[in-house]
């Protein structure tokens, strides 16, 4: 394994979905992230510029999820992962766990979602 920074269960309201009602009414999306990076220098130097600012990550993810509607949650997660890899040179892998608890499925369930892992090699 290695070092990582994580943010769990960020909740945003977005308008993503295949069905017109989803894109019109919107719904809650829950995002958790893990950012693989080497945190030794930040730990040794106690310097924010040598790591990733959690607040900045939150705001970037919020802008994507609450921004332009997409049909697929896969497209939302892909945009998040690629954006974070481009934005933070220290980050070498991004895991995005995206949940859609109000997905239009006829049945009883807690949540549905996806998880994807991207790295500088496969992004």
Query: Active-site residues: which are they?
Result: 100
DSSP for 61-85, written as a single string? HHHHHTSS--S-HHHHHHHHHHHHH
At residue 27, φ and ψ (nearest 5 deg) are: -170, 170
- Output the CA torsion 5→91→86→10 (10° steps): -10
| Cβ within 8 Å of residue 31, ≥6 positions away | 9, 10, 12, 61, 65, 80, 96, 97, 98, 99
What tokens were used for 13?
A: 């309201």
């Amino acid at each position: 394994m290695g070092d990582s920074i994580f943010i769990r269960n960020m909740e945003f309201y977005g308008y993503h979905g295949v069905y017109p009602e989803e894109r019109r009414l919107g719904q809650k999306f829950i995002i958790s992230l893990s950012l693989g990076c080497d945190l030794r220098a930040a730990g040794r130097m106690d310097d924010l510029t040598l790591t990733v600012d959690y607040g900045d990550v939150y705001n970037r993810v919020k802008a994507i999820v609450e921004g332009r509607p997409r049909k697929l949650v896969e497209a939302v997660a892909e945009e998040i992962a690629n954006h974070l890899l481009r934005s933070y040179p220290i980050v070498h892998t991004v895991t995005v766990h995206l949940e859609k608890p109000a997905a239009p499925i006829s049945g009883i369930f807690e949540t549905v979602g996806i998880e994807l892992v991207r790295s500088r090699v496969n992004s």
